[in-house]
A and B are shown apart, each in its own frame.
Chain A
Amino acid sequence: MLKLEARPQLSRFWSYGSPILALLITVLIGMALFAALGKDPVKGLLVFFWEPIRSGYALGELMVKATPLLIIALGLAVCFRSNVWNIGAEGQFVIGAIAAGYVALLADKSTGPWIVAAIIAAGVLGGMAWAAVVALLRDRFNANEILVSLMLVYVATLVLGYVVAGPLKDPMGFNFPQSKTFDAVTQIPRLMKGSRVSIGLLIALGGVAALWIFLFRTRAGFAQQVGGLAPAAARYAGFSARRAVWIALLTSGGAAGLAGALEVAGPIGQLTPYVPAGYGFAAIIVAFVGRLHPVGMVFSAILMSMFYIGGELAQSRLGLPKSLTGVFQGLLLFTLLACDTLIAYRVRRKAAPKPAPLSPASPASSAPSGTASLQVSTPLTAQPVAHATEGAL
């Protein structure tokens, strides 16, 4: 029999090892999936993990997909570290894309390259505005930000559907629900010829450095995180909880909007109903697999990008449905959450029962409560704490 035993301290090793173990398990389950679908598992793996890095062009495509994921995840990390659960980055991405697309459509032959800066700024502001709705409802009415932000994703998608079928529809577009193709001058500058990698990649890497500094070297970043780790301590220190909510949501909304602008004025080049590609949701996984750490998220963004490209390749090469991408993303998050147990617990082989059969009452739950009473002591408070487990039953 195996049992879980609480560790005296959180394991540093497993906080880094857990994402790697999760990836291995995901790969194993993936191979089983390929086999069950009647495909060669090794070939399947190659499509996901080798094809995307095989050539310079493929690497470029990998970066093209990783860039928006990383930018959105950086913003989400600020949110999640401050215990604000913005699940609606997808919606903020879409509104950012609409705002950026609107500015891009204003350009004509005479417009200078400054329009790119305006497009990016519009994207950031659009994403922020959409996230500000969430912040306002949470701040004023204590509305649950998980629900509000998620529901606003659908609203944003419908807004996109409206503008491409209405105000921004291409008059010469045979009534297809899409905008004009943007003018060439609005194209986000690319880093090199023959690759679609744009300055977005540099912006993302700059964001990594900026986030690292903010989180680990500024008092504002510290205050932001204390609110997430221990709200009572933040209140004691005098760090404003309201401010933390606003900063978190505006940062992540702005980041998602920025990614939307880079996408719509970059690889896509026009507004269509297909702008939302699920980056906003995938970035949640990127953020957690990357341990909410700026550098960790670089790696997880690349990994998630592989899943995107692998899914598309699996469609063309192996004749498998593209939804395989979502399956892999879900598997990875699921196994990661399971593997994270190892950070706080270790697996022990249960000793052979000595005199009599030992308790069926969960040993894993009684052990930590015992240690807690030894190490942690808080005075009695006014309210009696209702421990439903102990005396009441």
Chain B
Amino acid sequence: MTPFRLQLANITKRYPAVVANSDVSLTVQPGETHAVLGENGAGKSTLMKIIYGSVKPDEGTVSFNGQPVHIRNPQEARALGISMVFQHFSLFDTLTVAENVWLGLDKSLALAEVTQRITAKAREYGLDIDPSRPVHTLSVGEMQRVEIIRALLTNPKLLILDEPTSVLTPQAVQKLFVVLKQLSSEGCSILYISHKLHEIRELCTACTVLRGGKVTGVCNPQNESNESLSRLMIGAEPPPLQHRELKTGAVALRVKGLTLARDDQFGVDLDGVSLDVRAGEVVGIAGVSGNGQKELLYALSGEDTRAEPAMIEMFGHSAARLRPRGRRRLGVHFVPEERLGRGAVPTLSLAQNMLLTRDNAIGKSGWIRIGALQTHAAKIIARFNVKAGGPGAAARSLSGGNLQKFIVGREIDANPKLFIVAQPTWGVDVGAAALIRGEILALRDAGCAVLVVSEELDELFEISDRLYVIAKGQLSPSVDRAAATVPQIGEWMSGLWQGAATAREAAHA
């Protein structure tokens, strides 16, 4: 019998605030595609960093090909034949593909030789990439290909992929799976980290489920159902959402031909974006990140007021030149995707963070009524079931899900007439995500216009009444959720919709 490719035994890693891994064991066979499944914060990333040598375990042993090893840093991991593709890419925007790959390789190679190897590897696995292109001109999917090629050039025996599909269109996911299946058929083991159940069931032949840093199950995902995996992962199934007959009212937000040049070098130009959102409906905007969502949201929230007056109308008035506070006075509230640093000031207390967008506790001439502020924050903490040490707890002391509940709660509590939310449940545990989605629907039922920008297609299909897709700074026509299909939205995410002439030329993500 051949030895295990990788064997982890009783791995424990403690951080000051949390035990990230507790007594975790895991075995990977040669050529096996092994899923590591778990919610955000379940300890998947820490475990992978231990294997890759960037984090030291407090207890436990790692064996590679039957030999106990002490991997002290990523260089040693690569020398052993372990490669990792991180969720956040490690590429320099201003360098070309070949130069980026070259940086990570043996210094003795010439750049021309590296270029040649990239082309050869790319051909072998059908990964279409031009080594001479600067990275900032690539789509996110192409950047991931660069990362994968860089990993493959070291001829790994174990490839670790951390949430690789979160930035891909459904079609690009299928292409990636072809590559991964080819790799595993050649004997390379793959550790595939994800929380997307259907992907794991399609791709993987073994699965280790983590919850709260502990292993809660080892199974063959192809013999399991989404429900059974979900139970292993979160311990329960989220309650189903209540959908209701749609009663839409007047147009709350109308964007007409919004065209904006990028603000920073690596941003995206918005090109003739038009959309409208009516009172009493949830409108979703799908798309792979970095296609103009950020720029669109800045223009809608008032953080960017460069748009022409006619381009953005709220409740029938031109709002393009209004600053965030002016828009809030109209009843527009916005939840940004970055929670710490934008939605909340990390070092300030929850009560103080109320002051960012709410002025219920502000008296005449800008005086802060501390008592009222504390009470208000405590009310939101209670109503939205935020687990925190009270109104005085610093924002950074909260987990991602709880902080998100607080920020969403802070904005919903203002009874907005137009509610714009970006990535409402990114990095949030299932319970909190269900609560937030429920609140968004309740808001809609109360007659609020809601615009949701998300990269999670499943989520958009769950809560939206209508969908748009954003690609390369352009917005697709709208489609009713009931009429939309995943393959169609996936096509659109590459910019391929009827009438998207300019987008079509550029699209090959």
Residues on A close to B: CB < 8 A? Answer: 5-10, 216-220, 222, 226, 229-230, 232-233, 235-238, 240, 355-356, 358-361, 363, 366-367, 370-371, 373-388, 390-393
Cα A218 to Cα B352 in complex, Å, equals: 11
6 contacts between A and B (CB under 8 A): A230-B346, A359-B56, A370-B15, A380-B455, A383-B93, A392-B103
Which residues of the partner chain B approach A392 to less than 8 Å between Cβ atoms? 90, 92, 100, 103-104
What does the 1/0 interface line of B68-105 toward A look like (CB < 8 Å)? 00101111000000001011111111000000100110
- Inter-subunit contact B75/A393 (CB<8 Å): yes
7 smallest A-B Cβ distances: which pairs?
A382-B290, A377-B427, A238-B324, A384-B89, A8-B17, A391-B90, A238-B325
Query: Chain B's interface: helix, strand, loop or mixed, by majority?
Result: loop
From B70, B100, B290, A355 is in contact (CB under 8 Å) with B70
Cα A356 to Cα B394 in complex, Å, equals: 39
Given the contacts A237-B357, A238-B323, A390-B86, A384 and B143 also touching, CB distance less than 8 Å? yes
Interface centre among B290, B291, B338 (most CB of A within 10 A): B338
Which residues of the partner chain B approach A366 to less than 8 Å between Cβ atoms? 54-56
- Inter-subunit contact B91/A384 (CB<8 Å): yes
Closest to B323 in A: A238
Closest to A223 in B: B355
Cα A133 to Cα B434 in complex, Å, equals: 53
- Inter-subunit contact A218/B400 (CB<8 Å): no
Cα A374 to Cα B40 in complex, Å, equals: 8
- Inter-subunit contact A359/B368 (CB<8 Å): no
Which residues of the partner chain A approach B396 to less than 8 Å between Cβ atoms? 375-376
Which residues of the partner chain A approach B386 to less than 8 Å between Cβ atoms? none
Which residues of the partner chain B approach A381 to less than 8 Å between Cβ atoms? 289-290, 294
B401 to chain A, nearest CB (A): 9
- Inter-subunit contact A378/B337 (CB<8 Å): yes
Given the contacts A220-B366, A375-B399, A236 and B90 also touching, CB distance less than 8 Å? no
A56 to chain B, nearest CB (A): 40
- Inter-subunit contact B338/A232 (CB<8 Å): yes
- Inter-subunit contact A386/B17 (CB<8 Å): no
Which segment, of B41-49, B119-127, B276-284, faces chain A? B41-49
Which residues of the partner chain B approach A9 to less than 8 Å between Cβ atoms? 17, 394, 397
Report the number of A-B residue pairs with Cβ-Cβ less than 8 Å: 201
Which residues of the partner chain A approach B356 to less than 8 Å between Cβ atoms? 226, 233, 236-237
Cα A152 to Cα B240 in complex, Å, equals: 65
With A5-B16, A387-B90 given, can you name 15 additional A-B contacts, CB distance below 8 Å? A9-B397, A232-B341, A233-B341, A236-B342, A237-B324, A359-B56, A360-B72, A376-B400, A378-B337, A378-B426, A380-B140, A380-B167, A380-B289, A384-B88, A390-B86
- Inter-subunit contact B75/A378 (CB<8 Å): no
Cα A233 to Cα B324 in complex, Å, equals: 11
Cα A360 to Cα B70 in complex, Å, equals: 13
Which residues of the partner chain A approach B89 to less than 8 Å between Cβ atoms? 384-385
Which residues of the partner chain B approach A386 to less than 8 Å between Cβ atoms? 90-93
- Inter-subunit contact B88/A222 (CB<8 Å): no
Which residues of the partner chain A approach B346 to less than 8 Å between Cβ atoms? 229-230
Interface centre among B92, B347, B356 (most CB of A within 10 A): B356
From B147, B324, B347, A391 is in contact (CB under 8 Å) with B147
Cα A313 to Cα B32 in complex, Å, equals: 79
- Inter-subunit contact A236/B343 (CB<8 Å): yes
Which residues of the partner chain B approach A233 to less than 8 Å between Cβ atoms? 341-345, 356
Interface centre among A217, A222, A226, A237 (most CB of B within 10 A): A237
Cα A379 to Cα B61 in complex, Å, equals: 32
- Inter-subunit contact A379/B55 (CB<8 Å): no
From B15, B140, B291, B301, A371 is in contact (CB under 8 Å) with B15
Given the contacts A232-B338, A236-B303, A384-B135, A375 and B345 also touching, CB distance less than 8 Å? no
